[in-house]
Amino acid sequence: MEDWMQSTKLFQQWNQVRRAVEDHKWYESERAGHDIGWDRAYTEWLIHHSAEVDPVEED
């Protein structure tokens, strides 16, 4: 992946979201006793936690 891409605000925000969803997936999978899968984890995270992420601001 090119360096300029990794330095964009959008890419950095996506990484923040991806890590948060992966943490949520792990936690909820542990609670459920099985892997809940990415789709369910992402959907649940969007519903319950997405407001915690700062929106990407335009320059």
DSSP string, the chain: --HHHHTSHHHHHHHHHHHHHHHHHHHHHHHHTS---HHHHHHHHHHHHGGGSPPPPP-
Residue that wins the pLDDT comparison between 58 and 39 = 39
Per-residue pLDDT reduced to its tens digit, 2-52 = 788 788 888 888 888 999 999 999 999 999 999 999 999 999 999 998 777
- Predicted TM-score (pTM) of the model is 0.77
Cα separation, 25 vs 11, in Å, equals: 21
> Hey, how many other C-beta atoms are within 10 angstroms of the C-beta on 11?
14
